[in-house]
Structure 1
């Protein structure tokens, strides 16, 4: 699709009452080759080093923000205890391996900000988005192909998700809960236009979520340039 300021975005306000809160925007015209890779790696290294001291299983389990995502999943009757938020998955990775996966410039930066803030962050390639994006409850009729998976997976009705649809076919989940995104919209080093997710829960104030969003967009512009278009504030 052609990214632009008239992008169709909808957040179902009923989700807010159940604990879903987020700040959402577009970054248009990013150049992931603008900053030398070693400068980005140095930034990410610094963040990882700063959070290693709290990457301890007992501290992770008791932290109110990570616990807030687990409670949020219970609210939607998510049936697995191992389906952690993206932010908890990251710090558990650090706890186990001492680092985060290094995937690409833009992804590495937003993962570092997720570590800093404990919020669940995501970015989706707008070139792969067929229509607008809605944050809403799933019906079970959507298609979902998790990133890295060989095949699509069934969609469980009654969860919240980030859903792409242009009215010409089955809507597609591009991120299940705030946990795992889709293969379709994954960011590559060639990606220039992205939809950005900064999501919290009932344990995070709107100010905290907005501050995390502003931290993310400020760093992305510093490293990659581009224009930020705000879509929704918490």
Structure 2
């Protein structure tokens, strides 16, 4: 499997690191993680109380990427920003499953946008590219395809199906549930984030996932491709 980013997408400031953990057990809830999770969420609430989103260079960096892609800010909130706003509003985060819970916490701590996918459901290679409107896109929680606007950066496999729109919305096709065995992680950064930081956070996610869910992890840097590749 190849991991690729279109040069035109990289040129606007999108930075991406991929990782995987294969052979996980994503069933149940680990009591040790539950205790650690509680402390980390409490610390996050204290840290981000009164946060000025647009005064934070990492969050603002995602909105700048949206500006360059013609995406409206108000309706398109980066996933890490959305998680933090949810935590501050409710004082807690809903538990979906162990894998999702771990990367959500680390996403908030790092402010980086993180996505996870069932690696076994990805068709062929994965390319970060600008959409042209022909892609198949079925957002998480929906049953019918939704049209993709042209010139939005997205993560597509060789079947021309979107796995993640911008750094905002994942999809049903590669949903991570309790039965997943092999995980693909995506960390997206922007011009305010160094690649070393993305790698550091990816290792945190991989190491924490292996600690509580088992498996073996790896990191992949994408190749830069000069043009749109679809299978």
**Aligned partners of 2:198 and 2:220: how far apart in 1?**
14
| Cα deviation 1:92-151 (Å, max 9, x = unaligned) | 101211112211000000001001100001110022222221111111100101101242
TM-score (norm. length: structure 1): 0.89
Aligned length: 223
Q: Report whether the alignment pairs 1:21 with 2:15.
A: yes
**Aligned partners of 2:92 and 2:55: how far apart in 1?**
21
| Cα deviation 1:50-100 (Å, max 9, x = unaligned) | 110233454334211111111111111113522111100100101211112
Structure 1 residue runs of 4+, over 6 Å off? none
User: Which residue is equivalent to 2:95?
Assistant: 102
User: Which residue is equivalent to 1:71?
Assistant: 64
**Aligned partners of 2:142 and 2:48: how far apart in 1?**
27
Unpaired segments ≥5 residues, structure 2: 224-231
User: Which residue is equivalent to 1:3?
Assistant: none
Higher mean alpha-carbon deviation, 131-140 vs 84-93, is at 131-140
- 47 and 13 in structure 1: CA distance in 2 versus 1, 3 angstrom threshold: farther
1:142-181 alignment, distance < 5 Å: 142-166=135-159, 171-181=160-170
For 1:226, which of 200, 215, 231 is the aligned residue? 215
Unpaired segments ≥5 residues, structure 1: 1-6
For 2:194, which of 205, 212, 223 is the aligned residue? 205
**Aligned partners of 1:36 and 1:148: how far apart in 2?**
23
